[in-house]
Amino acid sequence: MYTYTIKRSLWALLLLACTLVACEDFLEEKPDGKLAVPSSLEDLQALLDYVNVLNYNSPAGSSETSADDYYLTTDAWAALFNEGEQRKYTWAEDNLFHIDYYPNDWYSAYERVYYANTVLEGLQRLARTPANAAAWDQVKGQALYHRAQALLNAAFVWTVAYDEATAATDLGLPLRLSTDFGGRSVRASLQETYGQILQDLEQATALLPVTARHVMRPSAPAAHALLARTLLVMGRYAEAGAQADRSLQLYDRLLDYNTLDSAVSFPFPPFNPEVLQESQISTPEPLYISTARVDSTLYRLYAPDDLRKALFFQENADGSQAYRGSYEGNPTLFAGVATDEVYLIQAETLARAGDVTGALERLNTLLRYRWRTGTFVELTAATPDEALALVLQERRKELLMRGLRWMDIKRLNREGAGITLRRVLDGRAYVLPPGDPRFALPLPEEVIELSGMTQNPR
């Protein structure tokens, strides 16, 4: 598994580069690029600030490519350079990933894990003292957060939805928790995989500061939010709601969409007040703004006075819609953690607990910032099921193109939603019904050949 990461990872370690493009004045103190081995807290922090690995290559592109927020025309699909992306779009059974193609989400996920492990091992060689305790804790918290985030995104791509009844035997991920290349790669169970993610995040919440120096670095509110996301997809709704509440208690700002200009190409400023932790997808070909067309059924869900309709989309020459609503402020897709998602997690968990009033209060709080001033009429529901339906619809409308929809489909189908995906290319229909094993994408064939790990069933 680590064979293809060694050269690039070690090269990065030798350089200790802190590439901070578009990060304003973040980390004005540059690390010493001549250091070969991280030997101080400053060196370890420099590794964590290597944003090209830890922030700018989120392994979430495969999730979004596989999901239903968009579609491709036959000509656009045929023009894709990467055959793996073509196969991914049609939910083919194999050969979706290749070492020579970029972006490679498997590579990106485990490169992040490698960096995090390097930092955690480096901390073991540095004594925690009263003088360095705050910095030591923050470095450890950041490394744990990044490892958990990488594993969670990978689980969204390569595992089935978490089911408590089968998680102990369902295939999870290989859990590489050290930098030792000699260890044999073995797939853990899904229960063990999510257990490791929860353990990392629970530790991170206690170690990270309430306010990070920059959203490139994780914070306590971000860790609670990512923990809430993890528990949500596991179906542990009461715990997910509690973590969402803790995150919002620490930071609850929302961005008023009335303050944004729909006339500019990309209306959302990077690092806007809703962003808790910055991460972006290495956008694969099918999701290019010039290629991907927004699902028309999804687009019709937005009312005229819902500002997301004007801010998220732009009309193409053929009358279709392109997505331009990324919180990156450019065509790159946002895959980090933001407060709007936390409000929606809290609303969903309250609805599932039967608290209609609480669920709609959270949901309406968010939507007041999304509608044209003076036009929003608060949503109402008579039953918990009605409230849940409203929350899930707004979740779909709010969080599109963030690498979340693919796992949402899987977890909702686990609950009996019956979501079937369909594509049509040149008159041929491709269908992905609920429960199909292709919802867990195949591991790269090179990984299977090198490691002997079990491939996902087809």
Do 249 and 143 share a domain, yes or no? no
Residue 137 covered by a domain:
yes
How big is the chain by its Cα radius of gyration, in Å?
A: 21
Model confidence at 33, pLDDT cuts 50, 70, 90, reads very low
Report the distance separating Cα 200 and Cα 176, nearest Å: 13
Residue 282 covered by a domain:
no
pLDDT, residue 38, reads: 80
Q: Is the pLDDT of residue 127 over 70?
A: yes
Share of the chain above pLDDT 70, in %: 91
Residue 445 covered by a domain:
no
Show contacts of 446-453: CB within 8 Å, 24+ apart: 446/4, 446/98, 446/99, 447/1, 447/106, 447/185, 450/1, 450/3, 451/1, 451/174, 451/184, 451/185, 453/1, 453/174, 453/185, 453/186, 453/187
Report the distance separating Cα 307 and Cα 83, nearest Å: 37
Of 360, 350, 340, 347, the residue nearest 238 (C-alpha):
350
Do 115 and 152 share a domain, yes or no? yes
Do 202 and 224 share a domain, yes or no? no
Can you point out the beta strands (E) in 333-375?
A: 337-338
pLDDT, residue 15, reads: 32
Backbone angles phi, psi at 421, to 5 degrees: -100, 145
Residue 86 domain boundaries: 1-215
Model confidence at 409, pLDDT cuts 50, 70, 90, reads very high
Q: What is the pLDDT of residues 68-115, one digit of tens each?
A: 999 999 999 999 999 999 999 999 999 999 766 766 899 999 999 999
Q: Is the pLDDT of residue 37 over 80?
A: no
Report the distance separating Cα 52 and Cα 9, nearest Å: 12
pLDDT, residue 98, reads: 79
Model confidence at 52, pLDDT cuts 50, 70, 90, reads very high
Do 112 and 135 share a domain, yes or no? yes
Q: Is the pLDDT of residue 248 over 90?
A: yes
Position with higher pLDDT, 21 vs 80: 80
pTM score: 0.92
Q: Is the peptide bond before 174 cis (omega within 30 degrees of 0)?
A: no
**Contact 297/237 with Cβ under 8 angstroms?**
no
Of 132, 123, 151, 154, the residue nearest 47 (C-alpha):
123
Residue type, 265: S
Weakest-pLDDT range from 5-14, 67-76, 265-274, 416-425? 5-14
Kindly state the tokens that stand for 268.
């959302």
Do 188 and 223 share a domain, yes or no? no
* CATH value at residue 130: 1.25.40.390
Q: Is the pLDDT of residue 378 over 50?
A: yes
Backbone angles phi, psi at 334, to 5 degrees: -75, 135
pLDDT, residue 272, reads: 97
Do 140 and 10 share a domain, yes or no? yes
Do 85 and 130 share a domain, yes or no? yes
Model confidence at 10, pLDDT cuts 50, 70, 90, reads very low
Do 159 and 301 share a domain, yes or no? no
What's the mean pLDDT in 164-188? 92
Q: What is the pLDDT of residues 322-367, one digit of tens each?
A: 999 999 999 999 999 999 999 999 999 999 999 999 999 999 999 9
pLDDT, residue 283, reads: 87
Residue 429 covered by a domain:
no
Residue 433 covered by a domain:
no
Parallel, antiparallel or unpaired: strands 313-315 and 171-174: unpaired
What's the mean pLDDT in 47-65? 93
Report the distance separating Cα 235 and Cα 246, nearest Å: 18
Q: Which of 198, 215, 232 is the last residue of a domain?
A: 215
Do 208 and 228 share a domain, yes or no? no
Q: Which of 175, 199, 215 is the last residue of a domain?
A: 215
Backbone angles phi, psi at 302, to 5 degrees: -85, 125
Do 230 and 184 share a domain, yes or no? no
**Contact 370/255 with Cβ under 8 angstroms?**
no
How many domains does the chain fold into? Answer: 2
Share of the chain above pLDDT 90, in %: 86
Kindly state the tokens that stand for 152.
């969670």
Please give the mean pLDDT across all residues of the chain: 91
pLDDT, residue 64, reads: 95
Report the distance separating Cα 379 and Cα 355, nearest Å: 14
Do 19 and 142 share a domain, yes or no? yes
Model confidence at 14, pLDDT cuts 50, 70, 90, reads very low
Q: Which of 215, 238, 254 is the last residue of a domain?
A: 215
Residue 328 covered by a domain:
yes
Do 248 and 188 share a domain, yes or no? no
Report the distance separating Cα 257 and Cα 370, nearest Å: 5
